[in-house]
């Protein structure tokens, strides 16, 4: 399990946003944090957290009893003072957790899951992370990068009602796949959950994601498997089991086909 907070050494303001901290979290099934257990900065009344889920699924419990389930790929904004605890919902939860403050009036949509495109934002997230421990110019660049992606996420929320029912169904299935990333759920079950036949769901996935539901489900399992193998002490056999594969042989074969190297090579590095 990796949970390393990265803190800004000075207040950096840009476009009415001050980024205070970022956590790069690669959590396993045992991850359960009582907020503010992870913190190194004092809580302040106007701070907001953005929880960007990259792989898997998590649960955020608020002090008022509300339970928010977040599935990849998505982001949710929450008032930092309202959080009670958060934990993995399944076997893996990879997230970028940001804490920031807005200045002036910005209508941040709190407690709404906003679907995002990981391919569209992953390089920006990586750039922000790489600059968080840098010099003053790099910190300003990190804040600017977060400001950019924050407004991009806001625009996705503002236009979410414009997507078709078919697209919403595909996004719902992708969320369910991430929630069941450690299981061997049949595609027919995902299709039935959104009221479609398996054949029609296949047609929609090919239209909007460019691959079949089966291939997409396998891809997110293998992407999660890569991050799991990068944890110290993880074994190929353990990861294969936790991702619902029948055995490590089938997992290794699929892994190598996707990444062009074997999972045992990743295991040896860590």
* pLDDT (0 to 100) of residue 234: 87
Domain CATH for 188: 1.10.10.60
Residue 265, Cβ neighbours under 10 Å: how many?
A: 13
Q: Assess whether 146 and 21 both reside in one domain.
A: yes
Last residue of a domain, one of 132, 160, 188: 160
* pLDDT (0 to 100) of residue 73: 96
The least confident of 11-25, 47-61, 190-204 is: 11-25
**CA dihedral over 6, 7, 12, 15, signed as positive or negative:** positive
Q: Assess whether 23 and 69 both reside in one domain.
A: yes
Whether 9 has a pLDDT exceeding 90, the answer reads no
Closest listed residue to residue 128, CA positions, set 228, 2, 14? 14
Q: Assess whether 125 and 20 both reside in one domain.
A: yes
Dump pLDDT digits (tens) for 84-111: 999 999 999 999 999 999 988 888 999 9
Which residues form the domain of 153?
Answer: 2-160
3-state secondary structure at position 168 = helix
Task: Give the CA radius of gyration of the chain.
Answer: 19
Sequence-ordered list of residues with C-beta below 8 angstroms from that of 120, at least 6 positions apart, any chain: none
Domain CATH for 99: 2.60.120.10
The percent of residues above 70 in pLDDT, for the chain, comes to 94
* pLDDT (0 to 100) of residue 14: 46
Q: Assess whether 116 and 248 both reside in one domain.
A: no
Q: Torsion angle, CA of 157/161/166/172, rounded to 10 degrees?
A: 40
Beta strand 17-28 with 83-102 is: antiparallel
The least confident of 2-16, 110-124, 193-207, 221-235 is: 2-16
Q: Assess whether 45 and 116 both reside in one domain.
A: yes
How many domains does the chain divide into? Answer: 2
Q: How far apart are CA 232 and CA 148, in angstroms?
A: 33
User: What's the whole-number mean pLDDT along residues 51-65?
Assistant: 98
| 181 band by pLDDT with thresholds 50, 70 and 90 | very high
Q: Assess whether 76 and 151 both reside in one domain.
A: yes
Instruction: Please provide the average confidence, as pLDDT, over all residues in the chain.
Output: 92
Dump pLDDT digits (tens) for 135-158: 999 999 999 999 999 999 999 999
Q: Assess whether 117 and 173 both reside in one domain.
A: no
Q: Assess whether 171 and 146 both reside in one domain.
A: no
Dump pLDDT digits (tens) for 215-252: 999 999 999 999 999 888 889 999 999 999 999 999 99
Q: Assess whether 111 and 177 both reside in one domain.
A: no
Q: Assess whether 182 and 110 both reside in one domain.
A: no
The percent of residues above 90 in pLDDT, for the chain, comes to 80
- Both tokens of residue 192? 């039935």
């Amino acid at each position: 399990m990796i949970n390393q907070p990265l803190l800004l050494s000075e207040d950096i303001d840009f476009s009415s946003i001050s980024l205070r901290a970022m956590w790069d979290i690669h959590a396993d099934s045992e991850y359960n944090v009582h907020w503010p257990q992870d913190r190194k900065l004092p809580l302040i009344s106007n701070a907001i957290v953005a929880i960007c889920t990259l792989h898997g699924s998590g649960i955020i419990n608020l002090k008022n009893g509300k339970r928010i389930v977040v599935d990849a790929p998505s982001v949710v904004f929450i008032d930092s003072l309202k959080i009670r605890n958060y934990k993995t919902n399944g076997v893996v939860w990879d997230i970028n957790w940001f804490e920031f403050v807005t200045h002036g009036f910005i209508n941040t949509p709190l407690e709404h899951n906003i679907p995002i495109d990981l391919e569209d934002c992953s390089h920006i997230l990586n750039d922000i992370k790489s600059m968080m421990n840098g010099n003053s110019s790099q910190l300003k660049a990190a804040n600017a990068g977060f400001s950019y992606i924050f407004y991009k996420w806001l625009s996705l929320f503002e236009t979410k009602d414009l997507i078709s029912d078919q697209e919403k169904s595909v996004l719902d299935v992708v969320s369910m796949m991430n929630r069941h990333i450690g299981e061997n759920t049949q595609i027919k079950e995902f299709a039935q959950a959104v009221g479609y036949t398996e054949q029609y769901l296949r047609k929609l996935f090919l239209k909007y994601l460019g691959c079949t539901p089966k291939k997409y489900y396998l891809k997110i399992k293998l992407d999660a498997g890569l991050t799991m193998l990068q944890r110290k002490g993880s074994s190929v056999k353990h990861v294969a089991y936790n991702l619902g594969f029948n055995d490590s042989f089938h997992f290794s074969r699929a892994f190598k086909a996707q990444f062009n190297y074997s999972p045992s090579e990743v295991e040896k590095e860590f």
